[in-house]
Amino acid sequence: MMKTSTFIKNGYIQGIATGLIVAGIIFLINDFKKPKDIFRVKYEGSIVMALNKDWNTLWVKDIRSEIEKDILADIDNDGRNEIVIGTSHNGADPGTIIVLSRKGGILWKFNTYPESFPYAGGNSRKFTVRNLLAVDLDNDGSLEIIATGHDPTWYASRIVIISEDGMLAGEYFHPGQLSKIVTAEMISNGRKAIIASGCNNDLRQVIKGSNDHDYYYSLFLLDSKEIWGQAPPYFGRKSYFGNKWRGSEKWYGVMLPQGNAITSLDVENQTGFLPLIKIAISDGRFYSLNLKGEIVSRGLSDSWIEEHGKKDLDSFFFIEDILK
């Protein structure tokens, strides 16, 4: 009886062991077959989840900072996606761009808040990342990151261009929050343009007849290879910018009358055709502009508001024409 019992017991244990080994092998085979490339990202609070194309979770990571934006892009140019995170002002790394590798390690971090702040008055000493794009700006085959950092309470914002290895390649300050950034091919010189729209809090101090309760909204263009300085009216400290005190904007447009906001900004990048900047204005107008900022077509939607200006008057003007 003892022998039989031991035999049965041993057989039972061997059975379990064999079963576990087989299950392990099946698991390893299935795991090996599971696509490892990141195809989707999910996040909640500070937790990032990387998913493959079958929606299987590849890994989960707590970056200890609230996530505001995320994109999937091949930043290190190895043919596989990394996750690029832009954080809010809450957490261990506020206003920071964090690049996570395919396996969930941190490739690099970049804080969008500058080492010193160029504007007088209040600031929160930290930013929130609002816009986040990955675009090959210099056509060398690897992606650069374009992001905007915004003060969560005060008005200033900063456009930063970050190289694939996490270094600052260009910056431009704006005295107001930037709502959207897009890029376009500049056919004439083979470079890319960065076009941004947003609110400018300082213009009412220089535009005659301004009231002090409405803001001016603006649209401007930068050459991605020549980015420096600050937007009009150039109230930032000269000691910060030096001889790059005036910004490198190719043109800077303002919506009139005061309070008229840009509600959407897009670019039509069509092969064989010149790109067009398309904007919609809160008064119901919409425009197509070329990359010189000239209006090439205009329209009026059903939501056009008569009180915001006469029907036959444009609402887009270059800043130098307004300040004449």
Which stretches of the chain bind Ca ion, using CB under 5 A?
74, 76, 78, 80, 82, 136, 138, 140, 142
**141 vs 242, beta carbon nearer Ca ion:** 141
**74 vs 314, beta carbon nearer Ca ion:** 74
Q: Which helix (H) or strand (E) holds 319?
A: helix 319-322
Beta pairing partners, 266: 278
**107 vs 207, beta carbon nearer Ca ion:** 107
**191 vs 250, beta carbon nearer Ca ion:** 191
**78 vs 320, beta carbon nearer Ca ion:** 78
Task: Output the smallest distance, CB 19 to Ca ion, in A.
Answer: 39
Task: Output the smallest distance, CB 250 to Ca ion, in A.
Answer: 20
Are the C-beta atoms of 267 and 277 separated by less than 8 Å? yes
Which residues make Cβ contacts (< 8 Å) with residue 79, sequence separation at least 6? Answer: none
Q: Shortest CA distance to 220 belongs to which of 162, 270, 175? A: 175
Task: Output the smallest distance, CB 87 to Ca ion, in A.
Answer: 21
Give the span between the Cα atoms of 126 and 111, in whole angstroms: 9
Task: Output the smallest distance, CB 73 to Ca ion, in A.
Answer: 8
Task: Output the smallest distance, CB 112 to Ca ion, in A.
Answer: 19
DSSP-assigned states of every residue in 241-287: HGGG-B---SEEEEESSTT--EEEEEEE--TTS--EEEEEETTSEEE
64, two tokens:
């200890």
